[in-house]
Structure formats: structure tokens, C-alpha cells
């Protein structure tokens, strides 16, 4: 049956079709010759001409050639690179539509994947729709710097990015000027900007150690440069910058994770703590704790917090952060969450989870059920894996509250805080 379907649809052919829905990542969904096709940067109801770019077994991918009937909800993108660049994918959608899409995305994941019938709150909007990212990784080829075209390794050369904080765009100009005047083998340049003292961290990866000569240029041309890392070695400064969140100060190195939208992160953590409704007798476990942001913020509300994290550098940062903030009721454990959680002997009252996109390890879920805390606060950047994990917990826990937070305007990504209570 599959082969017959393929007979009706060919790569590089142009077809006229109608977009019926948006899938999880915000791409338009349509049918051509009985086959489902995903088309980026389209909206439901639009009649389009598309070119087929890829054919898989059960679906195909396409690219807009022409929009014949644009949706009345379509916006003109403010970004000159938007048609080419894969950096963000929903600029053609208004903020209000974007928030509706994100809420529905969470609802669909819970129902279809988790088989969970829970009310999802309206998405809490971001304070800014643009210039909100405090970190970005640019790709480099010779004197070009920017992002890849969606789904390819073709570099789109850019002069500024609307998603990132203005300070990062300023430094991009400096780096770009250096690249255009110097032969180099640099591959990536990551820039982080801190909200504490407006400090800049630049992390460079190059195929040639001679490219270290960029350091002098950066030092001469960037006023707030706090630290530079070159091929994983700190070559200037002490290796980190300072971020403030929820009244506490955090040291962040190049590799350690910190939420990229500082304002929305504060909202996210405040909601998580409010939902946990902690008291001073509670012992809290923070799995996947990173540099200990949640661990440190929770510490002021609980008797003791234990944080587990696999990245060694993040744990070193986390311990430093305790000193900076004068916190003394936290214990950090460096290791794999699924293994380390089995060693916990204490009574755990509340578990905070903020796992990577792939969700929580099945073994860790099994041990969480043995620890049987009265509440679990699950913070997620991926509603699909969150829904799956909640279904594994649904025999013992009830989903009481689901609050999506918009950390990533103009994209399909959404963060979520969920409260689970023991049945």
C-alpha cells in the first residue's frame, strides 16, 4: 500500500493543497496524494503551493512555494531572515494565537499520550516577545556566522537575531568584524549575557588552536567581557558569569544550564514553589538540579533539599551558589539521577523534577514511587515526554494543576509546571 502512495507524490514536484492543522512543532499539516505532508511556516486554512523536499515511509516534508490564500491570522514577520533561517518558526503567528497553540499542544499531549484528563491553565505570557534570550550558539563558516536553514547544514549569515538580548547582538557585530578580517577555522561561538552585572561570556570552539588570537580582539572591543572559553579551556576571566533569579545570585559557567528567558524563569520558579506549598519540616528532592537554581530557591522554604545532577561542572557551580547565597540546608550529589536516587534513605516529602527533553528515566520513576512523596512538581520543556511520565505515575498520583509558561515566544516550544498529589 505504501508504494502505491509513493507513486502519487514525488520529490521536487510542486503540489497545490490546503493546510488543515498544526503539528506539535508548529508545522502545517496537509495531505498530498493520500500522504501526510508537514510544511513549516504555514497556518490552518491556508491554500498553498508546496514543493516536496523529503519523502519518508509514513509522511513527507514540503516547503512553501506560494501562499495562494493566506490565513487572516497570518502576520508579516519582522525578521529579514525568517524565510530562510531555522532559528525560530512561528513569527507568522500572532502572540495570542501562539499562546493558544501552546495550550492546545499541552492538552493534546496529556490526552493522547498520557491518557490524562486534566484541565490546563492558560499559558502565562512572556514579558518580552523578542530580545529575550540570554544565551545563543552561533554557527561559523569562514566569515559567515548565523544559524542553519531549517533541517539542513546550510548556514544563513545574519547581522542580528531578534530573539536574543540586545547586548548579545552587539557582541555578534564584534565577532563578525573579526571573522571578516581574519582567516579562521572557528566552528561555533556561544555568547551568554548575565542580568546581574550585564556581563558577557563567550565560548569558542575551533578546529585550529591558532584561532586563540581572537581573544585580544574581543578584549579590546567588548567592554563587559567577563570570561572567555576557547576549546573548553578558560582563557580569560574565572569561567562564569552571574545571573539573578528569584532574589538569589547564581554563577553560570559555559556548560551549565540556566533558563534562557530570565523574566519567564522567575515566574516559572515562583509558580513551582507556590504549588509545592512547602513548610519548614519538609525534606525536598530536586532531580536533574543543574546549577542548583530550583534547589537554592526551594531551600528557603524547606527543612532540607537534596539535589542530584550528572554534570560535574554544574554541581561545582551549584556548591559555589550555596556559598554566594549563604544557604546551608542543601546537599548536592553528582551522578546519574536513576542510580543516585536509590541511595536516598531519608523520608522525602516533595520531589521537584526538571528533566532534559527526553524526560525522566523509567528507573528513576520506579524509585520515586517507592519514595512516595506527598507531592511531585514536574517542570517540563517537552509536553510529550512529560505526558508519558505522568502516565507512569498515574496509578499513585493525581494531576492537580498544569500551568504552561511561555519561555520561548515566536517558537513552538513551551515550558510547563505540573503539580501531582499522592492519591
Write the pLDDT tens digit of every residue in 206-233.
Answer: 999 999 999 999 999 999 999 999 999 9
What band does 1 get if pLDDT is binned at 50, 70 and 90?
very low
Q: Is 161 assigned a catalytic role?
A: no
pTM over 0.85: yes
Fill in the DSSP letter of residue 112. I
Write the pLDDT tens digit of every residue in 296-341.
Answer: 999 999 999 999 999 898 899 999 999 999 999 999 999 999 899 9
Residue 313 is predicted with a pLDDT of 86
Q: Into which CATH architecture does domain 135-241 fall?
A: Beta Barrel (2.40)
Every domain range in the chain assigned CATH 3.40.50.150 = 97-128+261-422
Dist CA 40 CA 84 (whole Å): 11
| CATH number for the domain whose boundaries are 97-128+261-422 | 3.40.50.150
Residue of 79, 161, 289, 381 marked active site? 381
* pLDDT over 70 (residue 2): no
Every domain range in the chain assigned CATH 2.40.50.140 = 2-69
Fold of the 2-69 domain: OB fold (Dihydrolipoamide Acetyltransferase, E2P) (2.40.50)
Alpha carbon 295 to its chain centroid, in Å, reads 19
Dist CA 8 CA 30 (whole Å): 15
Exposed/middle/buried for 10, CB within 10 Å: 0-12, 13-18, 19+?
middle
Q: In degrees rounded to 5, what are phi and psi of residue 138?
A: -95, 145
Q: In degrees rounded to 5, what are phi and psi of residue 95?
A: -55, -45
Residue 90 is predicted with a pLDDT of 95
Residue 4 is predicted with a pLDDT of 41
Every domain range in the chain assigned CATH 2.40.50.1070 = 135-241
Query: Which residues, 6+ apart, have CB-to-CB distance to 4 below 8 Å?
Result: none
Write the pLDDT tens digit of every residue in 358-371.
Answer: 999 999 999 999 99
Amino acid at each position: 500500500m505504501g508504494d502505491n502512495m509513493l507513486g502519487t507524490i514525488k520529490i521536487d514536484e510542486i503540489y497545490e493543497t490546503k493546510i488543515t492543522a498544526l503539528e506539535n512543532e508548529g508545522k502545517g499539516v496537509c495531505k498530498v496524494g493520500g500522504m501526510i505532508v508537514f510544511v513549516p511556516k504555514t497556518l490552518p486554512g491556508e491554500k498553498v503551493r508546496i514543493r516536496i523536499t523529503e519523502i519518508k515511509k509514513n509522511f513527507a516534508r514540503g516547503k512553501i512555494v506560494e501562499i495562494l490564500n493566506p490565513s487572516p491570522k497570518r502576520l508579516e514577520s519582522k525578521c529579514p531572515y525568517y524565510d530562510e533561517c531555522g532559528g525560530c518558526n512561528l513569527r507568522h503567528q500572532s502572540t495570542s494565537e501562539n499562546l493558544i497553540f501552546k495550550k492546545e499542544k499541552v492538552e493534546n499531549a496529556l490526552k493522547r499520550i498520557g491518557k490524562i484528563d486534566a484541565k490546563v491553565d492558560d499559558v502565562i505570557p512572556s514579558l518580552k516577545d523578542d530580545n529575550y534570550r540570554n544565551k545563543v550558539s552561533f554557527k561559523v563558516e569562514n566569515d559567515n556566522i548565523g544559524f542553519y536553514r531549517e533541517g539542513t547544514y546550510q548556514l544563513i549569515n545574519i547581522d542580528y537575531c531578534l530573539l536574543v538580548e540586545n547586548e548579545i547582538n552587539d557582541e555578534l557585530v564584534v565577532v563578525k568584524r573579526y571573522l571578516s578580517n581574519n582567516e579562521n577555522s572557528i566552528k561555533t561561538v556561544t555568547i551568554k549575557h548575565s542580568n546581574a552585572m550585564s556581563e558577557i561570556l563567550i565560548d569558542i570552539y575551533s578546529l585550529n588552536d591558532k584561532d586563540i588570537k581572537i581573544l585580544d580582539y574581543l578584549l579590546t572591543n567588548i567592554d563587559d567581557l567577563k570570561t572567555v572559553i576557547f576549546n573548553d579551556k578558560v582563557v580569560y576571566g574565572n569561567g562564569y558569569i552571574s545571573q539573578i533569579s528569584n532574589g538569589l545570585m547564581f554563577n553560570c559557567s559555559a556548560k551549565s544550564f540556566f533558563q534562557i528567558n530570565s523574566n519567564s524563569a522567575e515566574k516559572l520558579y515562583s509558580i513551582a514553589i507556590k504549588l509545592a506549598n512547602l513548610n519548614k519540616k519538609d525534606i525536598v528532592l530536586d532531580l536533574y538540579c543543574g546549577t542548583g537554581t530550583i534547589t537554592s530557591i526551594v531551600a528557603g522554604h524547606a527543612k532540607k533539599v537534596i539535589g542530584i545532577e550528572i554534570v560535574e561542572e554544574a554541581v561545582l557551580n551549584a556548591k559555589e551558589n550555596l556559598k554566594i547565597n549563604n544557604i546551608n540546608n542543601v546537599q548536592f550529589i553528582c551522578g546519574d539521577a536513576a542510580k543516585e536516587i536509590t541511595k536516598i534513605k531519608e523520608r522525602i516529602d516533595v520531589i521537584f523534577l526538571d528533566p532534559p527533553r527526553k524526560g525522566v528515566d523509567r528507573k528513576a520513576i520506579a524509585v520515586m514511587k517507592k519514595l512516595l512523596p506527598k507531592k511531585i512538581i514536574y517542570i517540563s520543556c517537552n509536553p510529550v515526554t512529560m505526558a508519558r511520565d505522568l502516565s507512569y505515575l498515574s496509578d499513585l498520583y493525581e494531576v492537580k494543576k498544569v500551568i504552561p509558561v511561555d519561555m520561548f515566544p515566536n517558537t513552538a516550544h513551551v515550558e510547563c509546571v505540573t503539580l501531582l498529589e499522592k492519591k
